[in-house]
Structure 1
Amino acid sequence: MSDAVLPPLTIVEVQHRVAAELTRIGPVIDQLGERFAAAGHELSLVGGPVRDAMLGRLQNDLDFTTSARPEETERLLAGWVDATWDMGRAFGTIGARIGQWQVEITTYRAETYDPTSRKPDVDFGDSLAGDLGRRDFTVNAMAVSVPGRGFEDPYGGLVDLANRVLRTPGRPEDSFSDDPLRMMRAARFAAQLGFTVAPEVVAAMTEMAGRIEIISAERVRDELVKLVCAPFPRLGLTLLVQTGLADHVLPELPALALESDEHHRHKDVYEHTLTVLEQAIALEERLGGEPDFVSRFAALMHDVGKPRTRRFETGGVVTFHHHDVVGAKMTRKRMQALRFSNAEIDAVSKLVELHLRFHGYGAGEWTDAAVRRYVRDAGDQLERLHILTRADCTTRNQRKADRLRRTYDSLEARIERLMQEEELASIRPDLDGAQIMAILDIAPGPRVGAAYKHLLELRMDRGPMSPEDARAALLAWAEANPEPGPES
């Protein structure tokens, strides 16, 4: 694993951050602690909120662990919180909303796992130390007891957090055997926090990568989305490939490392892909600035068709003809296997299929009709297609990069002009279905659809037509394509 993206923290810096965060959240955590203590129960802020407080990452979602059983937690919250929910009751968790705060309170756990099962068997524990020992990483195995605010760190999470290192509380082999998804979480936390992963953890992930197969596709998908949308996705993706986990959850990615880029811009298409991803992230302000999974995943998948389409031509030239179409099909299949929504699958697949379309633009020779088709085919993914196409330029030749940028600037300017002149985003034929039926004196049916499609193509080729010209074009089409008579 590469060096941490961010520098180490000092213990004093961490302590100051925690003190400030505890002051901010004090009104809710102290009152909760007092209610549980009065009933004879322990309550501690635990896991992510403690870790994030040390990192200066403020949040209003607070996780607690307690000696109280779920039914007792519900009783203690009743009449004091704004709302409660118990979807996690089977795992000992009761959720609640207290003003601006979302809290989850979970009974101490002592989980046991069936090695062949996708889900843990949950047993309630009887101590905070035991609960912390079953957590995934030391930086998530720290707690602050309330209301006294005593700090609990039995596994050295504070030092690991200061050094930005991910370790497991016990042997990583035991942790990953209990819950193989923790291997994905290691990659996700590396991507989210900019942490390195301890060598023994990487070794265990490599040895046990195949155990991820018992985890449901939905859980793998959710971790992958969080990783891709994290601040440092290259760190997490590199770890998945390095350990062999990607061979099981996203095999298209490591396959790219075997392919030589046709322009010799990178040692392989894998490195090119990670660069495209980072460049796409840099352009996300065009979408509002928030992490955008669709554009990021399209960048990650845009060249996955290259391994299957690689051909060696005379003179040592390597080609990947139609890798866009092949890649779109592969992307759709992988996303279906990971149980993504149809909308996400359609969006990412469309972007992969269209990512080369711009390169037919050349020096700007496209007709307005070609520009209209580019916009029509992109549909509601046009802005993301702009991002992917620009990000896909990774040449080290600055003159070439500048030329490609200026050419795409020109295309976007033409699209904007046509948008203003023709309402391009909602392009329609110059006659609607009702008008077509009235002019041709026909009832609803396939012939109306065929006429509509013909007029849409004319609209793409010629631009807007007057009602008279559109009527004449429709009648000419009807004459050239007479309706078949009834069978004799």
Structure 2
Amino acid sequence: MSNLVAQQNAVTELMRVSPLADELAERFARAGHSLYLVGGSVRDALLGRLSADLDFTTDARPDRVLAIVNDWGDAVWDVGIAFGTVGVTKKGMTLEITTFRADSYDRVGRNPEVTFGDTIEGDLLRRDFTVNAMAIDLVTKTFIDPHDGMDALRLQVLDTPATPQESFADDPLRMLRAARFAAQLGFTAAPRVVAAMTSMAAQLERITAERVQAELSKLLLAADPRPGLELLVDTGLAEHVLPELPGMRLAIDEHHQHKDVYQHSLTVLAQAIDLEQRHEPVSGPDLVLRLAALLHDVGKPATREFQPGGGVSFHHHEVVGARMARKRLRALKYPKETIEAVAQLVFLHLRFHGYGGGEWTDSAVRRYVTDAGELLPRLHKLVRADCTTRNRRKAAALQATYDELEARIARLKEQEDLNRVRPDLDGNEIMRLLGLSPGPQVGQAWKFLKELRLDRGPLEHDDAVAELKKWARDQGITPPG
């Protein structure tokens, strides 16, 4: 894409929001201040994908910005005012207006000593990457590009306005942002950026787990996370973010008795993303499914055993993997519900392979559905994505077998409410029939009836009562009457 075409794209996109931008620029000009569209908004305008969230910068100090927009915006907030940012919503668009920054960093923590600047050039110099260091003067509609960001955009290269060493020393999170942009934009990091990321990877220890998690999640939610994940692993950053990922790069034995687990996991992730919309579509990227796909075989390195005769086994790697996934996601401060969902999917992902040629009983199918619970649609996708064999006949057979399992689930669901499997008798009836007060024995009886329900499906009421009383006698409980 030539610079001229890129500029035309930017102007076209800018015209789409120009009445709003022009209106805002006029207010700042009347107050004696400049206003620029900046950063990711300019980058996205050049790419023809400007969103409804716009970033602006100005020479006006935060209190002046508040005064200028206070009676103009539909809503105004000042949560980020300590960092020079005022937020505004107007006609369905979200605008963030930040005073020129000329921050200094102690290079121990991440948060800078906030210092306001006086020039757009100084503000652009402190930005993370040259593709984010361009601005559009909203009064003259002219481009400001002191660091050749447009050329970097055309070449799809991630480079820094200052040296990478200076940039990453100021804020190590920028290294993770490089990997995220590699995933989101499909750009390649410049050699000097890769070198700095590799030598400075340990600097990530300065960043809080919450900030690391946020960047990792954005990377995984990209259309194609693979380039970003590979950059994390190749530079050593993954050792400080998700060490289990490079840990899956097992040395392949001389007889090639197993796949490269790392490459396999990246392929499963890509296939799971493809299935998000093709199989039981969802409204947007599914972070839980993507984390589970990436980590489903994370337990293999710890469970690998070489068998006599040259075979390799990974017994119970799903159990070990669920435990490892839970531990890592906790360290990254993911929400509890996300952690448990991912761990359960990792734990269940091998269950289907016991299905074989379709010889599961209805009881086994009920247990599969019950154990998955609300995760069943994701489990379907994960299991299907886990087939990476190049043998087309074998792949087709596996998919056909899973088709049959889903069909059986559907047939059983027509007959029974598999999503809410409960005993045929409730707790109150159990206590009445057995003459029990609330306590552990009631819970044991309830569990027995639920297992019976899973094994045999719905029972007639009299049959359920008979089975309960038989169980009670076996436990030394004498029912009344």
| Equivalent in 466, 471, 478 of residue 472 of structure 1 | 466
1:60 and 2:52 are equivalent in the alignment: yes
1:182 and 2:161 are equivalent in the alignment: no
Letter in 2 for 1:58: L
Show the 5 A alignment for 1:88-127: 88-127=80-119
Q: Render the CA deviation track for 1:287-314: whole Å, top value 9, x for unaligned.
A: 4252111101101001111111111111
| Equivalent in 219, 222, 228 of residue 230 of structure 1 | 222
Aligned-pair distance for 1:442? Answer: 2.1
1:403 and 2:390 are equivalent in the alignment: no
Name the residue aligned to 1:386: 380
Structure 1 gaps, min length 5: 1-8
| Equivalent in 242, 246, 249 of residue 238 of structure 2 | 246
Name the residue aligned to 1:221: 213
| Percent identical residues | 59
**Quick check: 1:262–1:318 contact (8 Å CA) kept in 2?**
no
Name the residue aligned to 2:368: 374
| Equivalent in 341, 351, 354 of residue 357 of structure 1 | 351
**Quick check: 1:287–1:383 contact (8 Å CA) kept in 2?**
no
Name the residue aligned to 1:3: none
Distance 2:466 2:419 in 1: 26
Name the residue aligned to 2:24: 32
Q: Render the CA deviation track for 1:216-268: whole Å, top value 9, x for unaligned.
A: 00000000000011012100000000000001110000011124399948761
Name the residue aligned to 1:4: none
Distance 2:176 2:255 in 1: 33
Secondary structure of the corresponding residue to residue 316 of structure 1: coil
Secondary structure of the corresponding residue to residue 63 of structure 1: strand
Name the residue aligned to 2:449: 455
1:299 and 2:310 are equivalent in the alignment: no
Distance 2:440 2:100 in 1: 65
Per chain length, whose mean CA-contact separation is higher, i.e. which structure has more relative contact order (CA < 8 Å, sep 6+)? 1
Q: Render the CA deviation track for 1:159-209: whole Å, top value 9, x for unaligned.
A: 110111111011111100000000000000010001111111101100101
Letter in 2 for 1:298: A
Aligned-pair distance for 1:148? Answer: 2.3
Q: Render the CA deviation track for 1:2-60: whole Å, top value 9, x for unaligned.
A: xxxxxxx2323312211211111101111111111111111111011110111111310
Name the residue aligned to 1:432: 426
Distance 2:356 2:22 in 1: 65
Distance 2:37 2:55 in 1: 6
Distance 2:21 2:444 in 1: 66
Aligned-pair distance for 1:443? Answer: 2.1
Letter in 2 for 1:252: E
Name the residue aligned to 1:5: none
**Quick check: 1:142–1:154 contact (8 Å CA) kept in 2?**
yes
Letter in 2 for 1:18: A
Distance 1:188 1:316 in 2: 40
**Quick check: 1:261–1:267 contact (8 Å CA) kept in 2?**
no
1:16 and 2:8 are equivalent in the alignment: yes
Name the residue aligned to 1:346: 340
Letter in 2 for 1:85: W
Distance 1:34 1:432 in 2: 70
| Equivalent in 70, 75, 78 of residue 83 of structure 1 | 75
| Equivalent in 140, 153, 158 of residue 150 of structure 2 | 158
Letter in 2 for 1:66: T
Letter in 1 for 2:117: G
Aligned-pair distance for 1:478? Answer: 1.3
Secondary structure of the corresponding residue to residue 452 of structure 2: helix
Distance 2:285 2:306 in 1: 38
Letter in 2 for 1:214: R
Distance 1:107 1:371 in 2: 60
Aligned-pair distance for 1:440? Answer: 1.9
Q: 1:434 to 1:255 in 2, by over 3 A?
A: same
1:70 and 2:98 are equivalent in the alignment: no
Q: 1:387 to 1:265 in 2, by over 3 A?
A: farther
Structure 2 gaps, min length 5: none
Q: 1:246 to 1:328 in 2, by over 3 A?
A: same
**Quick check: 2:257–2:310 contact (8 Å CA) kept in 1?**
no
**Quick check: 1:266–1:272 contact (8 Å CA) kept in 2?**
no
Distance 2:448 2:208 in 1: 47
Letter in 1 for 2:296: H
| Equivalent in 311, 323, 326 of residue 320 of structure 2 | 326
Q: Render the CA deviation track for 1:353-411: whole Å, top value 9, x for unaligned.
A: 11111000010110000010111111111111111101111011111111111111111
